[in-house]
């Protein structure tokens, strides 16, 4: 890996630390994204350009750097801040590469750090109770032994806002136990069709930002269909405390607020059980109608189809400045055929050059060649044309990101 030396000579426009790119990743990305990648009207000239440069493709510094998104914030990225309920880590999406799509644990976003009162994980027990014939206590060791690979899944906080630089979103490779399997031995009484999953939520200090108490109510069907699991490992390592050690819930495709950390109780409850305080706190952000009093009146807190740019690369191609918009698409329940991008409200939406979504979870990387007509500030927005695809957050302009172009 080597630094692009030109980056620091363009003040104000570039991240000095984001301008790394290996030769291999450049070439691989060229192959990955197919023939449309970087082909201007003289695309062949570009290919031969790359070939000629293969000894050292960066000798002439074709990648000049990465532009910052503006109007967001200077919130630190990949850095743990604060403690307990006010603890956060915003993941730096700008450096994510398509060929290594798993977020390293140290950069995986954190919303709520572990309580200083958290009991000793070694003696952790998970109680399965409520309306059952006989409560069951699952020892953490037993759960760890049952754990199996659960695949790569994206997690996004329902409160993943512009001020957090949209960094409350990450992808992990999980291992754990299907909730349905963990509940197999429970003898449930009749009239207890709902399942309340709660975590340890007592903290040493009061929070400035959050209400303590994380729990969510599901139906068995929701847990089964989503493939919900009790995770004990993230990226091949035991869970870290801040990510919910020793055991947390993961509901693939649902917002992070349902993915209860430090799970200590699973209770079978009545059909007409109240919504928990966590459900009520997150009602608006999970797009409920008002704040329902009862859990059964909540819609599943699923992530609808979403997309946004994660970085804008500035290249010098055959002596011309070119921009490459690199982005992600995630959420939704069926892959969509086309994603469209628009630069400023005055321009039309155009299809994203390199977009092939084969699954909704975890994320899909796309790239789009961009030659802005003039310097200025551009607001970049995406949408999915297919009317059958629900994408309320995307459609509301939630994920719009802006850049300032000073050179064309
Ligand atoms: N016990 C508990 N679990 C919790 C929370 C919490 O405050 N307490 N926060 C939730 C929210 S809002 C999110 S977005 C995810 C974040 O998980 P992460 O910090 O591992 O990324 O955890 C969820 N699980
Ligand atoms: Mo969240």
| 383 lies in some domain | yes
Residues 260 and 162 in one domain: yes
Residues 66 and 201 in one domain: no
Full DSSP string of 166-210: T-SEEEEEEEEEEHHHHTTT--BPTT--EEEEEE----SS--SS-
Alpha-carbon distances, residue 334 vs 151, 359, 391, 398 (angstroms):
18, 7, 12, 21
Query: Ligand 2 center to residue 301 CA distance, Å?
Result: 11
| 279 lies in some domain | yes
**Domain end: 249, 269, 297, which one?**
297
Residues 145 and 275 in one domain: yes
Q: Which of 198, 208, 261, 276 to mutate to test the pocket of ligand 1 (most atoms within 8 A of CB)?
A: 261
Phi and psi torsions of 369, nearest 5°: -70, 135
- The CATH number of the domain holding residue 148 is 3.90.420.10
Residues 292 and 312 in one domain: no
Q: Which residue range is the domain that position 260 belongs to? A: 84-297
Residues 198 and 347 in one domain: no
| 28 lies in some domain | yes
Residue-level pLDDT at 375 = 97
Strands 215-219 and 110-111: unpaired
Q: Which of 157, 203, 263 to mutate to test the pocket of ligand 1 (most atoms within 8 A of CB)?
A: 157
Residue-level pLDDT at 344 = 96
| 12 lies in some domain | no
CA atoms within 13 A on the CB side of 345: 1
Residues 342 and 197 in one domain: no
Query: Ligand 2 center to residue 125 CA distance, Å?
Result: 25
**Total structural domains in the chain?**
2
Closest residue by CA, ligand 1 atom 18: 110
Residues 116 and 245 in one domain: yes
Looking at residue 32, what DSSP letter applies?
Answer: H
**Domain end: 297, 329, 351, which one?**
297
CB of 214 within 6 A of ligand 1: the answer is yes
Alpha-carbon distances, residue 324 vs 11, 137, 153, 159, 186 (angstroms):
20, 54, 26, 28, 54
- Could you tell me the pTM of the whole model? 0.86
Q: Which atom of ligand 1 is nearest to the CA of 155?
A: 21
Those residues with Cβ within 8 angstroms of residue 341's Cβ, 6 or more apart along the chain or in another chain: 325, 349, 350, 351, 352, 368, 380, 381, 382
Residues 180 and 309 in one domain: no
Residues 208 and 64 in one domain: no
- The CATH number of the domain holding residue 359 is 2.60.40
CB of 174 within 6 A of ligand 1: the answer is no
Residue-level pLDDT at 282 = 96
Query: Closest-lying ligand to the alpha carbon of 109?
Result: 1
Strands 263-269 and 125-130: parallel
CB of 243 within 6 A of ligand 1: the answer is yes
Residue-level pLDDT at 61 = 55
Alpha-carbon distances, residue 214 vs 196, 383, 396 (angstroms):
10, 33, 28
| 9 lies in some domain | no
Digitized pLDDT (tens) for each residue of the chain, 408 residues in all? 333 333 333 333 333 333 334 433 444 444 334 333 343 333 333 333 343 333 433 445 589 999 999 999 999 999 999 988 889 999 999 999 999 999 999 999 999 999 999 999 999 999 999 999 999 999 999 999 999 999 999 999 999 999 999 999 999 999 999 999 999 999 999 999 999 999 998 888 887 766 667 899 999 999 999 999 999 999 999 999 999 999 999 999 999 999 999 999 999 999 999 999 999 999 999 999 999 999 999 999 999 999 999 999 999 988 899 999 999 999 999 999 999 999 999 999 999 999 999 999 999 999 999 999 999 999 999 999 999 999 999 999 999 999 999 999
**Domain end: 268, 297, 326, which one?**
297
| 2 lies in some domain | no
Residue-level pLDDT at 17 = 34
Query: Ligand 2 center to residue 257 CA distance, Å?
Result: 4
Residues 288 and 337 in one domain: no
| 11 lies in some domain | no
| 6 lies in some domain | no
Strands 340-343 and 110-111: unpaired
Alpha-carbon span 129 to 127, nearest angstrom: 6
Straight-line distance from the first to the last Cα atom of the chain, in angstroms, rounded to the nearest whole number: 28
Residues 67 and 122 in one domain: no
Closest residue by CA, ligand 1 atom 19: 110
Residues 157 and 217 in one domain: yes
Residue-level pLDDT at 7 = 33
């Amino acid at each position: 890996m080597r630094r692009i030396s030109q980056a620091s000579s363009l003040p104000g426009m570039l991240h000095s630390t984001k301008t790394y790119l290996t030769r291999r990743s450049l070439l691989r990305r060229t192959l990955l994204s197919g023939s449309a990648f970087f082909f201007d009207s003289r695309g062949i000239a570009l290919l031969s350009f790359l070939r000629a440069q293969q000894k050292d493709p960066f000798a002439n510094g074709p990648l000049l750097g990465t532009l910052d998104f503006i109007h967001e914030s200077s919130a630190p990225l990949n850095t743990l801040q604060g403690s307990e309920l006010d603890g956060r880590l915003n993941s730096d999406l700008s450096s994510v590469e398509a060929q290594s799509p798993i977020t390293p644990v140290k950069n995986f976003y954190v919303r709520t750090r572990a309580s200083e009162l958290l009991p000793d994980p070694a003696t952790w027990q998970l109680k399965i109770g409520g309306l059952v014939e006989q409560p069951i206590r699952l020892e953490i060791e037993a759960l760890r032994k049952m754990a199996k690979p659960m695949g790569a899944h994206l997690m996004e906080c329902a409160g993943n806002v512009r001020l957090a630089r949209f960094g409350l979103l990450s992808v992990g490779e999980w291992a754990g136990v299907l909730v349905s399997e963990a509940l197999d031995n429970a003898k449930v009484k009749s009239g207890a069709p709902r399942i309340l999953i709660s975590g340890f939520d007592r903290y040493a200090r009061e929070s400035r930002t959050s209400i303590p108490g994380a729990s969510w109510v599901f139906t068995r069907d929701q847990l089964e269909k989503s493939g919900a699991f009790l995770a004990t490992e993230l990226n091949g390592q035991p869970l870290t405390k801040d990510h919910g050690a020793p055991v947390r819930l993961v509901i693939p495709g649902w917002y992070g607020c349902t993915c209860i950390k430090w799970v200590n109780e699973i209770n079978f409850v009545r059909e007409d059980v109240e919504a928990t305080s966590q459900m009520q706190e997150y009602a608006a952000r999970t797009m409920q109608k008002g704040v329902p009093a009862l859990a059964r009146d909540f819609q599943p807190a699923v992530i609808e189809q979403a997309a946004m740019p994660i970085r804008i690369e500035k290249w010098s191609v055959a002596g011309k400045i070119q921009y490459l918009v690199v982005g992600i698409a995630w959420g939704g329940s069926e892959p969509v055929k086309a994603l469209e991008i628009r630069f400023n409200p005055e321009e039309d939406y155009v299809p994203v050059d390199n977009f092939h979504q084969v699954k909704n979870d975890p994320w899909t990387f796309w790239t789009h060649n961009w030659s802005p007509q003039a310097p200025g500030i551009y607001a970049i927005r995406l949408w999915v044309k297919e009317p059958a695809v629900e994408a309320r957050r995307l459609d509301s302009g939630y994920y719009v990101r802006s850049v300032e172009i000073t050179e064309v």
